[in-house]
Amino acid sequence: MKNYDINRKRKPLSEEEIAQGQNFQSFMNAYAARPKPFYKTTTFYLSAAALGVLLAVGGYYWSTSGDSPAAQTAFVQAPIPALNPSDTVYAVDARQEGVYYFETGTQLTVPAGAFLDSAGSAVAGEVELRYREFHDPAAIFLAGIPMTYDSAGTRYHFESAGMFELTAYQNGKPLRANPNAPIKIALASNSQEDKFNVYYLDTTQRNWKYTSRDKAVLIAMQRDSSVALDSSLAGAPIAPRQADKKKPSFSIAFDPAEFPELTVYIGVRFEVDEAKTPYNRADKNVDWEDVSIARNADGKTFSVTFSKGDLKRTYVTYAVVDEGNWNNAQKTFGERFAAWKKKRDDKNALANQQQKQRERDLATADERRIFKNREALQRALTLRRANVGNDQENMVMREFVVNEFGIWNSDCKSSLPEGQELVVKILDSRSKKPIETTHVFLVEKGRNAIFTYSTSDLRTFRFNPKSENLIWAITADGKIAVAHAEALQRIAPDAKEAEITLDVATTTATSGAQAFAQLGL
């Protein structure tokens, strides 16, 4: 007798599969189009009309209200407001596409028309785009961002591969993102793992909302940064000028290695350009001790400087050839110039070919998608190198399509650490009295995760004794309290309960660096 079909290997639905069915707009369309009961009456129609009005009005308010700053601060609340990581502000022209860079190498691509006002109309003029990133537990903790996630009634804790907050304002008023022209963020991530999903913090639902699978794009850090073509070539022969017998000129010995362009001519002289430097006839009677030649920036003239003691005289000159050598010089120039031109053209052709190859090399599908051109990639790489040094082999970019302003996170879900479970009391190490706090936060060094325990959760406190653990809390008077790794290492492996003492900072931290130190980092 078989009454039931028993599935032994059915996997739970993935987040993508859940998201596939979860669409409130479709649901409401189906709800509006559901079959009507046969007992329809005028009253029913009137009620339906009223419902329609309600929907329209409600929908309008729903679509235009957005998240009020008050709602956001209620759910995302920095424990010490003064230490809340600050935003970087970009002044953006709302009608122009623009690409902006954050200090970590992150690239923000803002299309034209990316901003809407509260009425849903496109915004023109200058917009204040505010951006900040979170890459470590301390920054996340100080920003007060919740890192727990309720999915299908189960509470998980997030481990992050990088998180950011993006908001926009005009004249102090918050703007909404235009979902039809979304801002794209290529987030420079510190994790190379490919196990993360993209979540948006829905402050109305007070929960993270799964949006898509995350994809880590690896960009090789060690790239040849030279891109400029060498269009000039040193040593280009100079066209000969015939000497003018009426103008003063000098015959000077020069270093052929220094002036190869002059070695092709026999009987080269330096003729004074009297329009620039009038010749002093008395100079020809001076017994000069030294003479030097310098090529001028125009590429045609040479400055000849004579000196004797403190006396110096400089003339702008042309290299010229006397009449007897003129024909020969012209012929030589023709040959030399043709040879030089061929060499230059060959070199430029090779450089062009190399450049195109470099463009092909960089233009993987991922890179083409993220970076518009090589310069954009180069800029991101330069910032990344400045941020993390040159040791890192790859830059990892994680892509986000921002259709709502707020906090976006590349995360993977994890449960509380496996290991010892016990009942704990959190005490002040000095007074030995319980610390008045609503939550304590467990951090495993080396993991970008914060495990949040409410005070009632402390009856089933779990931690991994093999990890280097820290416990953080904020006291009622806004001071940071920390239990360092040793405090947890002292707990006996078979203990069922324990008192964990936290060192409460004697002063309230006033800077990020001070807070980091107090947090034991």
Partner 1 sequence: MTTEQKYHASSEQIRSEEAEIEAARKNPACFEVLYNRYYARILGFIYQRVASKEEAYDLTSQVFMNALENIGKYKAQGVPFSAWLFRIAINELHKYWRKNKVRQAISIDDTQVGDVLEELGEENSAETDSKLMQAMQQLAPEEIQLLEMRFFEKRPFKEICDILNISETACKARVYRLCERLKTILTSLS
Binding site for partner 1 (CB under 8 A): 1-10, 12-13, 17-18, 20-22, 24, 27-28, 30-31, 34, 51, 54-55, 57-59, 62, 150-156, 202, 204-205, 207, 209, 414-416, 418
End-to-end CA gap in the chain: 64
The token pair at 334 is: 């023709």
Q: What is the DSSP string of 296-336?
A: -TTSSEEEEEEEETTEEEEEEEEEEE-GGGHHHHHHHHHHH
Closest to partner 1 by CB, 7 vs 506, is 7
Least Cβ distance, residue 211 to partner 1 (angstroms): 13
Contacts for 115 with CB less than 8 Å, ≥ 6 apart: 94, 122, 123, 127, 168, 170, 175, 176, 177, 178
Least Cβ distance, residue 156 to partner 1 (angstroms): 8
| Strands 311-321 and 241-242, sheet pairing | parallel
Least Cβ distance, residue 386 to partner 1 (angstroms): 39
Closest to partner 1 by CB, 207 vs 354, is 207
| Chain centroid offset of residue 113 CA | 22
Closest to partner 1 by CB, 62 vs 334, is 62
491 within 8 A of 420, measured Cβ to Cβ: yes
Closest to partner 1 by CB, 159 vs 399, is 159
436 within 8 A of 476, measured Cβ to Cβ: yes
Residue 290 burial (CB count, 10 A): 9
Closest to partner 1 by CB, 20 vs 96, is 20
Least Cβ distance, residue 76 to partner 1 (angstroms): 17
201 within 8 A of 407, measured Cβ to Cβ: yes
Quote the CA–CA distance of 506 and 232 in Å, as a whole number.
66
491 within 8 A of 466, measured Cβ to Cβ: no
Closest to partner 1 by CB, 345 vs 418, is 418
Closest to partner 1 by CB, 176 vs 398, is 176
Least Cβ distance, residue 418 to partner 1 (angstroms): 7
Least Cβ distance, residue 78 to partner 1 (angstroms): 21
Closest to partner 1 by CB, 13 vs 82, is 13
417 within 8 A of 156, measured Cβ to Cβ: no
Least Cβ distance, residue 480 to partner 1 (angstroms): 26
Least Cβ distance, residue 197 to partner 1 (angstroms): 14
The token pair at 171 is: 């004249």
Q: What is the 3-state secondary structure (H, E, C) of 209-261?
A: EEEEECCEEEEECCCCCCCCCCCCCCCCCCCCEECCCCCCEECCCCCCCCCHH
Quote the CA–CA distance of 65 and 221 in Å, as a whole number.
44
Least Cβ distance, residue 146 to partner 1 (angstroms): 14
471 within 8 A of 502, measured Cβ to Cβ: yes
Contacts for 194 with CB less than 8 Å, ≥ 6 apart: 214, 215, 216
Closest to partner 1 by CB, 22 vs 353, is 22
Least Cβ distance, residue 491 to partner 1 (angstroms): 20
**Residue at 175: amino acid letter:** L
Closest to partner 1 by CB, 357 vs 460, is 460
